[in-house]
Amino acid sequence: MLDYDPYDVLQRARPVASFSVTSADFEHGEPLPRGQWAAFAGGADRSPQVSWSGFPPGTRSFVVTCLDADAPSASGWWHWAVANIPATVTSLDANAGAEGGAGLPEGALMLRNEDGEKAFSGVGPPRGTGVHRYMFVVHALDVPSFDLDPDASPASLGTRCFFHALGRGILVGTATRD
């Protein structure tokens, strides 16, 4: 596992409140269950259940993302990005990231992952690259939604979150295929 934490860098650049993110599927810092793994690695490409609480007053919407910060690239690997989640929603069910977004709240927009799919891409770190951290991040925002091109990148969404974030909650799962 590398020491680089992109969200620590963001926090130092523009500090925001932190809040709690939990999952019924895994504990913070623990390995992700096989269901959250990619099909090619013996999994089901199933997004985990995610809940959040304690976010700042004035939150008008949420964004949920999943980034492999330890991917062997200079930019990590985006597994999931969902924008425009209403402020009244404080959890996503397991498999909400299924292609088509039927499990997402009305108005939510799922962007393409690094595999080019509008879905959750299960984990499957390349063999020999050690333990990877999968950062499930909930961004509490001061705007009700973003006017996003449906083909916008998760990185583009991240830039918008940087400027509109009131708070950020992070839940980390791990995986390795050594």
Which band of pLDDT confidence, cut at 50, 70 and 90, is reported for residue 3? confident
Q: Does any domain span residue 81?
A: yes
Work out how many domains the chain is built from and give that number: 1
Domain extent at residue 84: 6-175
- Cβ-proximal residues to 150 (8 Å cutoff; 6+ apart), any chain: 109, 111, 118
Give pTM, 2 decimals. 0.97
Q: Does any domain span residue 19?
A: yes
Q: Across residues 108-135, what is the average pLDDT?
A: 97
pLDDT at 103 over 80: yes
Q: Does any domain span residue 1?
A: no
Predicted confidence at residue 138, as pLDDT, reads 98
Q: Across residues 72-81, what is the average pLDDT?
A: 95
For the purposes of burial, counting CB atoms within 10 Å of the CB of 76, is it exposed (0-12), middle (13-18) or buried (19 or more)?
A: buried
- Which CATH number fits the domain that encloses residue 46? 3.90.280.10
DSSP states of 83-123 as a string? Answer: EEEETT--EE-TTTTSTT-TTSPTT-EEPP-TTS-SS---B
Q: Does any domain span residue 79?
A: yes
Predicted confidence at residue 2, as pLDDT, reads 58
What pLDDT digit, counting tens, does each position of 137-169 carry? 999 999 999 999 999 999 999 999 999 999 999
In 3D space, the residue among 144, 176, 139, 145 whose CA is nearest the CA of residue 161 turns out to be: 139
Q: Does any domain span residue 23?
A: yes
